[in-house]
Copies of this chain bind each other. A is one copy, B any other.
Amino acid sequence: MMKLADCELCQLNIAPAWSNELFSVIMVDDVAYPGFVRVIWHEHVREISDLPDPHRLALNDAVHRVELAVRTVMQPLKINVASLGNVVPHVHWHIIPRYQDDAHFPSPVWATAVRETADTVLSARRALLPQLKAEIIRRMNE
């Protein structure tokens, strides 16, 4: 498996919520976005379209299962999914629960923040994370 010494996703050192031989599902520690999840390919592959079809479809399927888990537990107003990789060109997906009161809504999370979400709201969302993790595991093993 190709790994690059200077790629932060090749060298990732975070315990995943779930993983298999191809990819890991990571709960992102983002204070403004509890419930933000990434699916990170293990091998250093630049573009999704560089993956062989069975791998690409397995990754799509994982993103779908994670999206369902995030919807079920976090009950967001909208789900955002994106694969960018301009800074770290190593295949990974962002799955982000969005709410009317989040830091950037309705803009993408990469725009300039327009507000701070109340601590009580963020705490209530953070309290759901153990349940989100369990739901990810359940859906990935289904």
Contacts and interface: CB of A to CB of B under 8 A. Distances in A.
A106 interface: yes
Given A67-B49, A108-B108, A111-B110, A82 B79 contact: no
How many of chain A's residues touch chain B, expressed as a range?
20 to 34
Given A64-B49, A67-B47, A106 B78 contact: no
Nearest to A86: B106
Interface in A93-108: 98, 105-108
Copies of this chain, count: 2
Nearest to A66: B49
Contacts of A48: 64, 67, 79, 81
A125 interface: no
A56 interface: yes
A74 to B, nearest CB: 13
Interface of A: 46-49, 56-57, 60, 64, 67-68, 71, 78-87, 89, 98, 105-108, 110-112
